[in-house]
Structure 1
């Protein structure tokens, strides 16, 4: 179910989830861009991506898909692997999911600090859940996701094969179909990671 259905049924939930998604995606892409920039690749800065401004990172089709289907994406950060090398590419790919995990842990920690009001719990748990979902999804080692870049850096022959698959015309549809079919196991992993995040801070 997409976010758009919440506009009439629960406008408050729509605003919280929409803002949490937009900001979390912006931080994710900024983490990629900032890491690449710090490691010597000027490409993200050239395209104006070393910023936390969500407008620089939102993809029109990905945003529309999010509103309609409940699953979307931001614009990938352009990088030049030749400027980064094998391990630089790995760290750039990992930076996005790591940023989401850090936000999730921060939200869990804040649950112990702020008064347990309904709105506080709703906001913090929503932001935490969204960032866990982003981290888990992006770490799946399949094309178009950060996990494939990490795997490619660790196992270069596999990286070349994944890159060839990603260049195929229908790779996006195949990846989306895989995620849909594997939503059960992925959901279980997400729940396990959410439990781990809460346990880390003792909530």
Structure 2
């Protein structure tokens, strides 16, 4: 029986609706080159879209867990798409947005608490972990659709570059999330199939998995190889490196005041 409380737990949060409204208005501003400076509009558009994708990432985990047997998901507010309802809003929203602003990389978050003891079956546990990054993959496909469908006629350059940069963020998030490192979704996919003793030994290191991954990414050779792989995937979807790069360049509009913007992105291409 569906109670009023249950319906309330599933109702879309006003916070999420407000973020979606910012996404729609800023996207319109980028497309029409409205009075808002292009860089500011792109910043708002990409940031809002990125937060929406983070909410959908966590929602996918929660919804899959609900259908797999964890009926406590609804009461926790995860189905409302409210980013403030997450267990670790800092990890799921604040840090990912800061990393986009500072470095243009999709930081994987992880903040929905799932009562795994209520769920039976290895495949269910694996699917719950995979649902989040698969959402990033789907988001990337949607963002790049105009490119691989060859439907860019009439699409303003700024909007096209913004989509390219947003797709880069989704692909980096998907790759990082799928790494089989404790603490990341990729490890969650394979964990149910590992020996119990091994899982117990690895468990204490899970909180440091993400830190370790980003530490490794600071190694120049690894960083270059990682972004070459990302650019290769984007290229396969019809997005050129210059488009994603210029999208990031426009996103970081404050560089214009410091004279750091690339002149290649400042001319009509």
- TM-score, normalised via structure 1 length: 0.77
Structure 2 residue aligned with 1:50: 79
Structure 2 Cα separation of the partners of residues 12 and 78 of structure 1: 34
Q: 1:30 to 1:39 in 2, by over 3 A?
A: same
1:20·1:130 contact (CA, 8 Å) conserved in 2?
no
Query: Offset at 1:69?
Result: 4.2
Give the match's secondary structure for 2:78. Answer: coil
Query: Offset at 1:155?
Result: 2.5
Structure 2 residue aligned with 1:108: 144
In the alignment, structure 1 segments of 5+ residues that lack a partner are 1-7
Give the match's secondary structure for 2:136. Answer: helix
1:90·1:149 contact (CA, 8 Å) conserved in 2?
yes
Structure 2 Cα separation of the partners of residues 179 and 153 of structure 1: 27
Structure 2 residue aligned with 1:195: 235
Structure 2 Cα separation of the partners of residues 146 and 23 of structure 1: 19
Deviations 1:153-175 (A, max 9, x none): 232445443323226xx555434
- TM-score, normalised via structure 2 length: 0.60
Structure 2 Cα separation of the partners of residues 59 and 28 of structure 1: 13
> Is residue 89 from structure 1 mapped to residue 125 from structure 2 by the alignment?
yes
Structure 2 Cα separation of the partners of residues 188 and 176 of structure 1: 17
Structure 1 residue aligned with 2:185: 146
2:144·2:167 contact (CA, 8 Å) conserved in 1?
yes
Larger radius of gyration: 2
2:136·2:173 contact (CA, 8 Å) conserved in 1?
yes
Give the match's secondary structure for 1:43. Answer: coil
Structure 1 residue aligned with 2:163: 124
2:130·2:185 contact (CA, 8 Å) conserved in 1?
yes
Please identify runs of 4+ aligned residues in structure 1 that moved more than 4 A.
none
Query: Offset at 1:40?
Result: 1.3
Query: Offset at 1:147?
Result: 0.8
Give the match's secondary structure for 2:160. Answer: helix
Structure 1 Cα separation of the partners of residues 211 and 163 of structure 2: 33
Question: How big is the alpha-carbon RMSD for the aligned residues of Structure 1 and Structure 2?
Answer: 3.0
Query: Offset at 1:95?
Result: 0.3
